[in-house]
């Protein structure tokens, strides 16, 4: 699946280089010689860009959401029908260039469901979520607002529990009061070294430098990132197992203070060996994957990663693939991991029942009519949905059902492509590229003919290449033709410039 944000690569330093970099003084952005001229956007321009992106988003009714911008601080208000829609609107605002923070005051309309029924569904969602390992969570619900108390083994499980609860129909708010009970303590030095190396080797932070300090298993991050969304991703990246808290109060947001030479330096030293080392580190530190890390055998050849071995959950298989795609230097991932469910394997009939019930709990999918087939724990989904977002959400939900080892998503998207003027598509895409990529290194030219967007020019990385495609689809283009050159093709003997046809 391309989009798992319900969800998100190329280089890696040697251990010695990582240690040298970590032990240096705090860094708060590139030298002035590298800093681009700061581009301040007018509040009205930012407000207009965010409103337009909300209007383009599937499953959101943008007319019901109000956007206000004051000193690069965005306030969202209005009304939506589910907590997931509220969160999605906030994510769109966070990705916008120059936005320093988002105050999400959107009101979630309550439903007619009783608190008892909502609580029952939240508890079932927590139990039937294969990313959570028998959580000791107490749930209380009052007027649709969910309060969770208890203990989990990691910050990642705390985050996953909140996401699971937020996806239940009728939930208007989640107060996450879960505490982290560290089952296996790790030293502060070990945590600092691991987090620093993970950041260095991640495509999501390839143009930033972040200082990591750890005291009593609490992480303090310092440095500069390009967007509010990147800051949120940074916090999540630091939530490795053994960490009980992450503070990013001293991480500033400034897209124009990122050093364009840092990314080039990191990509220049990538090799299959450094990718292999980065994969081992990523799997060994991720709270979901690490129990199975020694059972995963990654192979790397010319930047192509093949994952082999056996894991106990489908979510582990998918998380391992996402982690691999996040490593600097990785071109492609062939995920051949075999899922062998841990524990008592539910029957195919029970998997169908659990899957149907899980889909019915979603406020976005409860009115859809799904047909589910299951054979030997391989699930196939059939039916109609209204958007790609709903199709991906349905697969994500069924992925988490215990016993499922594979999901064949045959759901058809009912919404037809709506004709849009070529000039309108071009303007919308150019606006998105201006506000959503946070990167002055991109040189993208846009042409649109008969609804087809043609992208030419250059970008630094394959992540940027893919982002341009996603934004073209958001802008209303059909079948975008991405002819962008990628400057930082890993040096495995192939050309450094690759034009996909």
- Please report the pLDDT score of residue 400 as a whole number: 86
Give Cα 436 to chain centroid, integer Å. Answer: 15
- Please report the pLDDT score of residue 381 as a whole number: 95
- Please report the pLDDT score of residue 341 as a whole number: 83
- Give dist(CA 240, CA 218) in Å, integer: 11
- Please report the pLDDT score of residue 112 as a whole number: 92
pLDDT tens per residue across span 306-348 = 999 999 889 899 999 999 999 998 988 999 999 988 778 889 9
- The average pLDDT across 228-233 equals 92
- The average pLDDT across 447-468 equals 90
Per DSSP (E only), the strands in 195-274 are 210-215, 218-225, 245-253
The answer for residues whose C-beta is within 8 angstroms of residue 125's C-beta and 6 or more apart is: 164, 165, 167, 168, 358, 361
Domains annotated for the chain, with CATH where assigned, are 39-257 (no CATH), 270-339 (3.30.1340.30), 348-413 (3.30.1340.30), 422-486 (3.30.1340.30)
- Tokens representing 324 are 């691999």
Count Cβ atoms below 10 Å from residue 17 Cβ, excluding itself: 15
- The average pLDDT across 31-47 equals 59
Lowest mean pLDDT among 109-113, 127-131, 414-418, 492-496: 492-496
- Please report the pLDDT score of residue 282 as a whole number: 95
**More confident site: 136 or 362:** 362
- The average pLDDT across 164-183 equals 90
| Residue 192 pLDDT > 50 | yes
- Please report the pLDDT score of residue 34 as a whole number: 30
Strands 145-152 and 179-180: parallel
pLDDT-derived band at 454, boundaries 50, 70, 90 = very high
- The average pLDDT across 420-430 equals 93
- Please report the pLDDT score of residue 377 as a whole number: 93
Average pLDDT, the chain: 84
| Residue 11 pLDDT > 80 | no
- Please report the pLDDT score of residue 125 as a whole number: 86
50 exposed, middle or buried (CB, 10 Å; 0-12, 13-18, 19+)? buried
């Amino acid at each position: 699946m391309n989009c798992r944000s319900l969800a998100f690569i190329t280089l890696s330093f040697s251990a010695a280089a990582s240690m040298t970099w970590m032990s240096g003084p705090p860094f708060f952005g590139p030298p002035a010689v590298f800093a681009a001229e700061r581009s301040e956007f007018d509040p009205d321009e930012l407000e207009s860009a965010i409103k337009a992106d909300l209007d383009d988003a599937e499953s959101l009714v943008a007319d019901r959401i109000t956007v206000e911008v004051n000193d690069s601080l965005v306030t969202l208000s209005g009304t939506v029908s589910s907590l997931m829609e509220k969160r999605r609107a906030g994510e769109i605002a966070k990705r916008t260039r120059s936005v320093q923070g988002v105050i999400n005051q959107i009101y979630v309309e309550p439903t007619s469901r009783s608190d008892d029924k909502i609580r029952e569904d939240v508890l079932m969602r927590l139990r039937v979520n294969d990313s959570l390992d028998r959580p000791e969570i107490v749930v209380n619900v009052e007027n649709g607002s969910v309060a969770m108390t208890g203990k989990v083994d990691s910050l990642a499980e705390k985050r996953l529990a909140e996401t699971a609860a937020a996806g239940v129909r009728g939930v208007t708010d989640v107060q996450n009061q879960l505490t982290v009970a560290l089952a296996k303590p790790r030293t502060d030095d070990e945590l600092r070294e691991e987090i620093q190396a993970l950041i260095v080797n991640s495509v999501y932070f390839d143009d930033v430098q972040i200082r990591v300090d750890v005291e009593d298993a609490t992480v303090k991050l310092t440095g500069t990132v390009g967007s509010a969304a990147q800051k949120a991703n940074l916090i999540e990246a630091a939530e490795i197992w053994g960490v009980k808290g992450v503070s990013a109060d001293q991480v500033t947001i400034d897209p124009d203070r990122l050093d364009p030479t840092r990314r080039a330096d990191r990509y220049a030293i990538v090799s299959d060996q450094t990718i292999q080392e980065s994969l081992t580190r990523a799997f060994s530190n991720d709270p979901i994957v690490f129990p199975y890390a020694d059972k995963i055998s990654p192979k790397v050849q010319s930047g192509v990663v093949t994952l082999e071995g056996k894991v106990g959950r489908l979510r582990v298989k998918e998380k391992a693939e996402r982690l691999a795609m996040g490593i600097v230097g990785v071109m492609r991932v062939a995920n051949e991991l075999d899922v062998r469910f841990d524990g008592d394997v539910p029957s195919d009939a029970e998997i169908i029942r659990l899957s149907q019930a899980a889909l019915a709990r979603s406020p976005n999918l409860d009115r859809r009519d799904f047909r589910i087939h299951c054979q030997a724990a391989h699930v196939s989904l059939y039916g109609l949905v209204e958007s790609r977002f709903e199709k991906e959400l349905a697969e994500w939900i069924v992925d988490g059902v215990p016993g499922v080892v594979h999901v064949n998503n045959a759901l058809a998207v009912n919404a037809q492509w709506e004709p849009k003027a070529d000039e309108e598509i071009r303007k919308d895409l150019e606006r998105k590229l201006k506000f959503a990529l946070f990167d002055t290194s991109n040189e993208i030219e846009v042409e649109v003919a008969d609804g087809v967007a043609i992208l030419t020019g250059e970008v630094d990385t394959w992540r940027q290449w893919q982002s341009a495609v996603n934004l073209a689809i958001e802008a209303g283009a059909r079948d975008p033709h991405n002819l962008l050159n990628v400057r930082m093709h890993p040096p495995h003997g192939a050309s450094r410039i690759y034009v996909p046809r």
